[in-house]
């Protein structure tokens, strides 16, 4: 059954991405999927479940266990006119393909003086919270956001996952699509038909990189993306009960960042806390803090604070809750900022 015939459903983020991929495959015969175990198995998280059965082995390709080969092949396919969507099975497995991504995929458009486009999407299940072993809970998004030529985005809910994956595939530029694996099973009601009709897939990627004010507030701004948006919302709820009005912004995009929305918020509230799972040291929050301080210096009533992972390798599963930014740590940052 096609996605267009399904209508409103309460679905998980994993299913929303599946439907978004299905819609893209239906819309454009040049779209194809590549990755380890994405065909008959449907992927480790079953995100691609049923797609090979419906679209065939030539469009949903089970690749060898070779991330550099997957990305390199995708570059060649993009140059030949295809729109490949690569799945990296787990975040920590992306590094064998890092050279292809940062020295080839990111630079080909610039190297050709704009004559060549590489519309490649790389899907990366990322982040912790699932009790996994080493190399299965990384948050490497800042490494790619630091590389010019790559778009880097992360949905925080099923509705955004459905629309953003389609926008990413329609983009003429390479997109790193970081999927918060701990949120794969979060559910939401989505009108698939209405959401699909509302998409602008004409190559305009502005909507893909627009931040969203999820909860308006007046006292402090909390900015997050991907897996930590729900943590920020929970903190806003608790802080609100204690008399602090928190504005929560879902950044949605890490490169480029919608600084216009963020700066407008901070100029209203005078305070900012940035939350992400990746290590705080040289993380996305550092760039956000620096840029907001430059533009909001006379509006800020407290230093910009960051809550995130520590500058250590991701820990073993039984202590990962000590590493991840949780409700208490975000509330502590809010209280610290409000004390100024």
Name the band, by pLDDT with cuts 50, 70 and 90, for residue 206. low
Query: Sign (positive/negative) of CA torsion 319, 250, 162, 164?
Result: negative
In degrees and rounded to multiples of 5, residue 261 shows phi and psi of: -65, -40
- Give residue 200's pLDDT: 55
**Does residue 196 or residue 207 have the better pLDDT?**
207
Q: If pLDDT is split at 50, 70 and 90, which confidence band does 340 have?
A: confident
Residues marked as catalytic: 136
pLDDT digits (tens, 9 = 90+) for 225-269: 999 999 999 999 999 999 999 999 999 999 999 999 999 999 999
Number of residues that this document lists for the chain: 340
| Long-range CB contacts (within 8 A, 24+) of 60-63 | 60/25, 60/32, 60/33, 61/32, 61/33, 61/34, 61/35, 62/35, 62/36, 62/37, 62/38, 63/34, 63/35, 63/36, 63/38
Q: What is the pLDDT of residue 4?
A: 47
The mean per-residue pLDDT over the stretch 308-324 comes to 94
Give the model confidence (pLDDT) of 275-300 as tens digits.
999 999 999 999 999 999 999 999 99
pLDDT band at 86 (very low <50, low <70, confident <90, very high): very high
Q: How confident is the model at residue 191 (pLDDT cuts 50, 70, 90)?
A: confident
Q: What is the pLDDT of residues 151-170, one digit of tens each?
A: 999 999 999 999 999 999 99
Q: Which fold has domain 212-338?
A: Rossmann fold (3.40.50)
Residues 89-106: tens digit of each pLDDT? 999 999 999 999 999 999
pLDDT over 90 (residue 197): no
CATH of 3-207, one of 3.90.1150.10, 3.40.449.10, 1.50.10.100, 3.40.50.970: 3.40.50.970
What is the model's pLDDT at position 241? 97
In this prediction, residue 3 has a pLDDT band, given cuts at 50, 70 and 90, of: very low
Q: Which of 121-135, 157-171, 191-205 has the least mean pLDDT?
A: 191-205
Dihedral angle computed from the Cα positions of residues 169, 170, 176 and 177, in that order, rounded to the nearest 10 degrees: -60
What share of the chain in percent tops pLDDT 90? 89
Q: And the tokens for 173?
A: 């530029």
* Mean pLDDT, the chain, whole residue set: 93
1 pLDDT band (50/70/90 cuts)?
very low
Q: Where in the chain is the domain with CATH 3.40.50.920?
A: 212-338
Phi and psi at residue 202, to the nearest 5°: -85, 20
Mean of the pLDDT values across residues 58-79? 96
Residue 193, pLDDT above cutoff 70: no
DSSP strands (E only) in 181-326: 187-191, 212-215, 220-224, 246-250, 253-255, 272-279, 305-309
């Amino acid at each position: 059954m096609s996605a267009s015939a399904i209508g409103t459903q309460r679905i998980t983020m994993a299913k929303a991405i599946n439907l978004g991929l299905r819609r893209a495959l239906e819309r454009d015969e040049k779209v194809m999927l590549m990755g380890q175990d994405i065909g008959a198995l449907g992927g480790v998280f079953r995100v691609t479940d049923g797609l090979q059965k419906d679209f065939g082995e030539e469009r949903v390709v089970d690749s060898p266990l070779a991330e550099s080969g997957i990305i390199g092949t995708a570059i060649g396919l993009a140059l030949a006119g295809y729109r490949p969507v690569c799945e990296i099975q787990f975040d920590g497995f992306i590094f064998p393909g890092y050279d292809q991504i940062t020295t080839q995929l990111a630079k080909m458009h610039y190297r050709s003086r704009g004559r060549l486009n590489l519309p490649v999407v790389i899907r990366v299940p990322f982040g912790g919270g699932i009790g996994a072993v080493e190399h299965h809970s990384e948050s490497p998004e800042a490494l790619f956001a630091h590389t010019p030529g790559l778009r880097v985005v992360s949905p925080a809910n099923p509705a955004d996952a459905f629309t953003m994956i389609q926008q990413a595939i329609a983009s003429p530029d390479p997109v790193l699509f970081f999927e918060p694996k701990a949120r794969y099973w979060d559910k939401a009601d989505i009108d698939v038909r209405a959401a699909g009709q509302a998409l602008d897939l004409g190559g305009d990627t502005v909507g893909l990189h627009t931040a969203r004010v999820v909860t308006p507030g007046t006292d402090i701004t909390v900015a997050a993306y991907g897996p930590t948006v729900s943590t920020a919302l929970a903190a806003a709820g608790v802080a609100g009960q204690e008399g602090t009005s928190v504005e929560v912004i879902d950044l949605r995009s890490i490169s480029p960042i919608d600084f216009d929305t963020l700066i407008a918020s901070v100029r209203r509230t005078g305070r900012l806390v940035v939350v992400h799972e990746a290590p705080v040291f040289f993380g996305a929050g550092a760039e956000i803090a620096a840029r907001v301080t430059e533009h909001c210096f006379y509006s800020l009533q407290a230093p910009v604070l960051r809550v995130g992972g520590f500058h250590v390798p991701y820990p073993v599963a039984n202590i990962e809750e000590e590493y991840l930014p949780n409700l208490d740590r975000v509330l502590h940052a809010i209280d610290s900022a409000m004390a100024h």
